[in-house]
Amino acid sequence: MEITNLEKLTTLGHPWRMSVFRLLMRRYPQAVPAGEIGAVLNIKPSTLSVYLSGLQNVGLVAVERRGTSRLFRIEMREVEALHRFLFQECCRGRPDLCLPNCASVKQGTDGAEHIYNVLFLCTGNSARSVIAEALLRDQSKGRFNAFSAGTQPRDMVNPVVIEMLLDKGHDITELRSKHIREFDGPDAPEFDFVFTVCDRAANEECPAWAGQPISAHWGMPDPTMVAGTDAERRLAFQHTYGALRNRIRAFADLPLQTLTRVSLQAALDDLATELSPEGV
């Protein structure tokens, strides 16, 4: 039996099912273990199973098994179909009412190319997001302003990160750990892109950003949590650097002014899954 869009909307009308849906949207394109979803949202397993089944039944969420674990991921084609329904049927195809700024990314004025503000978020803002900030700053070619912040920032940038970035020729002058609140005031830059680079930051409910920036989740393991010898720990930081370098190079090469928001979002999601560390 075909699932109607009204059934999908009714399913999302339940506050806890919506909470699960929102979490999976923030983590897309990753698949998230059921246990992690329950822990983040503080939902007991039996209750969570009911919510996830409801989302599966209307096609908004898919499940895959890895060993004994069940992992859940947003079915983006179904979500996009629901968006199209709302746009065409409810908004009568008027982007000024329902989809502000949907047609394309921002353009410069007077023929100048727009300079994009990009924020990288993680929990501690001591390793992954700082590495990403340094990489984009060096890749920017005058097209990007790079920033980073943490939801629970550490007191300082990890010393191994500082040493590694210096060895690779990056300018570390402006790098420091800082709270996301620094970018929440009237004088804060308006961001065009917001990337989460750790799962914990993506799991957290953050306020909506002004200007409707395009967001993507580039989650990767925390190199500061790797145990072992000093060489093994340093290798973890090198792998993180390589993964972020690959993605940021590809991002910086995108023809941003010729892409719609939809096609750009798809490209950013692809970078989260297609690129992996290469030799550094």
Active site residue ranges: 122, 198, 206
Which residues make beta-bridge pairs with 72? 32, 63
Which residues make beta-bridge pairs with 214? 193
260, 106 contact by CB (below 8 A) = no
CA distance 231 to 234: 5
CA distance 83 to 81: 5
Output helix, strand, coil percentages for the chain, rounded to the nearest 5: 50, 15, 40
228, 234, 239, 242 alpha-carbon torsion, rounded to 10°: 180
